[in-house]
A and B are shown apart, each in its own frame.
Chain A
Amino acid sequence: MNPIDRFQSVWHDPNDYARKRKQQTGRKILGYFCSYAPEELIHAAGLWPFRLLGTRGEVRMADTHLQSYCCSLVRGGLEAALNGSLDFLDGAVFPHTCDSIQRLSDIWRLNAGFAHHFDAVLPVRLDSPSARQYMIDVLNEFRQELADAFGTEISDDAVWQAIGDYNRIREKLRTLYELRSRAPGLFDPSTVHRIMTAAMVMERREFFEQINAFLEGVDPDAAGLGDTGRKRVVLSGGICTHPDIYELLARAGADVVWDDLCTGARYFEGRIAEDGPDPVAALADRYMERTVCPAKHRDTTARARALVDMVRQQQAGGVIFLLLKFCDPHAFDYPYLKKFLDEAGIPSLLLEIEEQPPPEGQLMTRFETFVDMLSD
């Protein structure tokens, strides 16, 4: 199977992939919901971190545990845990994240019945030395719990090794994003999205081989492919699990050239220093410095300034906010982000997503109108 087909098939059914691959490799799998989950430590323990992205099916069993005013990621994630579709997981780790995920951790622990459960309650503040110290402490505690639970040891060398592996994967993802930004026509509109999903669910060494092979096969100067004649936009929000969005946007006349999504650029942003005395402190420092998720605090305007900079740097014409309905941290930031964009003369469009995006007809109406609004 060539890399692109491999990515496509993983995207198509991540659970099936995990089940089969686990059988082949015997690797244990730990699920996680949030880009603050310390994957490097999981990887260093010889486990395979697997990002949980809700469900594509109907939510039924989770209704017994969660109200309707809870976001689709949390509801869908619980559904998948309860209905057996995550039977390959050996457990999951919850790095706090937000009010909803915090409660999901309890409900999951009490009902899902996986062998292992971890809470790594990271700091919410990422702006002080005591928060950094606490982050290091929590990461070390998680490292110890993980080692105890799986009867292994996680040496400093193993963590350094994992850091190296992750730095290399993240570099490749950055290269992929940069290629798309330079020549959006190189890929089908949703290809990068599918690869990002694969990056978060595939057994990481296999993913690294595949992404290398994929990038080697890309000719960045392929004649006539680069320029699509479409307008350039960036996405901002939490998770995106709908490749259709990219296809529809392209049909409406715009290419996504970068994003501020936690399943996107925020996943690979920030290189971990490989030359310090303490590998766990190095991990903590990446989290302390990376663009924040709105559920964390750095300073009160950092996200907006970063977003405006991103739009300018990417020479994009506008921003599409992709917000999960009932996601409080993102909903709180939206008005001020929009204000900063307005002041910078950057048009934006808000799209609220429940279990599914709005019906295609309505979505196209919004996209087409928005694309018309953007200056050429």
Chain B
Amino acid sequence: MAENEKKHDPEKEKRKIQTVSRMKEIMTDYYIEAKGARENGRKVAWITSGGPVEPLIAMDVIPVYPENHGAMIGASKMGAQLCERAEEMGYSRDLCSYARADIGDAVAKTGPIGGLPEPDMLVCCNNICGTVLKWYETAARFFNVPLFILDTPFIHREFTDSARKYVLSQIYEYISFLETHCGRKMDYEHMEEVGRLSVEATQLWQSVLDTCAHKPAPMTAFDAFFHLALIVTLRGTQVTVDYYRQLLDELNDRIDRGIAMVPNEKYRLLWDNLPVWYRTRWLSDKFAGHDAALVADTYTSAWSGMLPDITGQTFLEAMSETYTKVYINISIDRMFDIVAGMIRKYDVDGMVMHSNRSCKPYSLGQYDLRQMIMDRLGVPTLIIEADMVDERSFSESQIDTRIDAFMETLKA
């Protein structure tokens, strides 16, 4: 009953982002294409979310993202069940829930899309974590397919010349890996064209996120979590560029017409870490109930942080730096600089950090980051303990109380 009433609430209807339906179409087409790849003589590569997808697009290989799949499993509330499946296979309950859910579904095939299309090859870039290395090794054994590892050294202080040389030579090794397993040569002109589209999409994505600098914000981080899918999966395609242009137009129109995502936006918050996929709705309502909008987040902006500087170099050359410098491949002090910039840009009143059991590189260091934000910027920061996919690590009553208490201090 309550659900029905909500659906017919004209106020709520007005606030819905219309472009959402286009995203659903594109993602459905994409998964149908990926699932039918074998029949159509096309190859499928599994790739990590922070990995360079552009060479795959240029080689007409369909990229498939186990992490995106993990998020789908989480959002479908199938996380615990599939994680358990992996635990039965001997994988510890403490491991990343994307990896567990995905490993579980590779065997069970009971997830939201009945299992991912099987890979012909694997491309793993460790700029997001060391976990993907182990996860992709597992996949390489399970599917018995070739694995390419792009090793992007962590940046504690600076991106050194030796690291640049190392990553760049791996980018060429990556291309020859693709040439070997696709049985044809890379068309470098096409590669640059794909690179140009990727840059364009990334710029558009940043503009989409930037609309939230407007008060009130036309969307929130919860919307960004959803619209993120294309910049992750299909960077370097025209369809992605067109999509974000459409979305940007709609958001700008909302600004013109004064439509806010949170009706009485009073508090502007910054989210840190991956979403709690199985509770986005609950959290969104929870914050909206306090007139608080999550106007930005460090997670979805990580992809626009990948914007390469292609002046004076080819896209491939620019890639080595771009992919190495992503948000979680840098030290806590460098992260602080980025967060501080976002706090200023979006004029944020408080920060909410998701301490995510699944993601150590993102979560370890949050306590120090929080202290720096509070001490140096005076921005109140809340930490909630949860997990991105495994709902068994979510305590509603605990988080409910913490958010209420945090909002009380903000309001005081």
Contact = CB atoms under 8 A, between A and B. Distances in A.
A332 B103 CA distance: 11
Interface string A334-345: 111010000000
Contacts of B170: 128, 130
B364 A123 contact: no
A297 B149 contact: yes
B367 interface: yes
B291 interface: no
B237 interface: no
A128 B149 CA distance: 10
B130 A328 contact: yes
Contacts of A94: 156
B360 A124 contact: no
A130 B167 CA distance: 9
Given A67-B364, A130-B166, A338 B134 contact: no
A110 interface: yes
Interface residues of B, number: 48
A332 B138 contact: yes
A103 B157 CA distance: 13
Contacts of A352: 92
Contacts of B363: 67, 69
Nearest to B383: A67
Nearest to B130: A99
A65 B137 contact: no
B133 interface: yes
A65 B333 contact: no
A83 interface: no
Interface string B160-180: 101101100110010000000
A325 interface: yes
Contacts of A331: 91-92, 94-95
A99 B95 contact: no
A157 to B, nearest CB: 24
Interface string B84-116: 000001111011100100000000000000000
Contacts of A111: 368
Interface in A280-296: 294-295
Contact of A102 (B91, B355, B361): B361
Interface stretch (A134-142, A206-214, A364-372): A134-142
A329 B130 contact: yes
Given A99-B360, A124-B133, A295-B130, A332 B91 contact: yes
A301 B141 contact: yes
A334 B95 CA distance: 12
- Specify the main secondary structure of chain A where it touches its partner: helix
A294 B21 CA distance: 43
B134 A107 contact: no
A96 B360 contact: no
Contacts of A374: none
Nearest to A124: B151
A125 B134 contact: no
Most buried by B among A104, A121, A325: A121
Contact of B360 (A125, A328, A336): A328
Contacts of B318: none
A340 to B, nearest CB: 10
B275 to A, nearest CB: 18
Interface of B: 89-92, 94-96, 99, 126, 129-131, 133-135, 137-138, 140-141, 147, 149, 151, 153-154, 156-157, 160, 162-163, 165-166, 169-170, 173, 331-333, 355, 357, 360-361, 363-368, 385
Given A123-B153, A131-B166, 12 more contacts: A69-B357, A99-B360, A107-B332, A110-B333, A124-B126, A128-B173, A137-B165, A326-B94, A328-B94, A328-B360, A331-B92, A332-B134
18 contacts: A66-B364, A67-B357, A67-B367, A94-B156, A98-B130, A99-B361, A99-B364, A102-B361, A107-B364, A107-B365, A107-B368, A119-B154, A134-B166, A137-B166, A300-B147, A328-B95, A329-B130, A332-B138
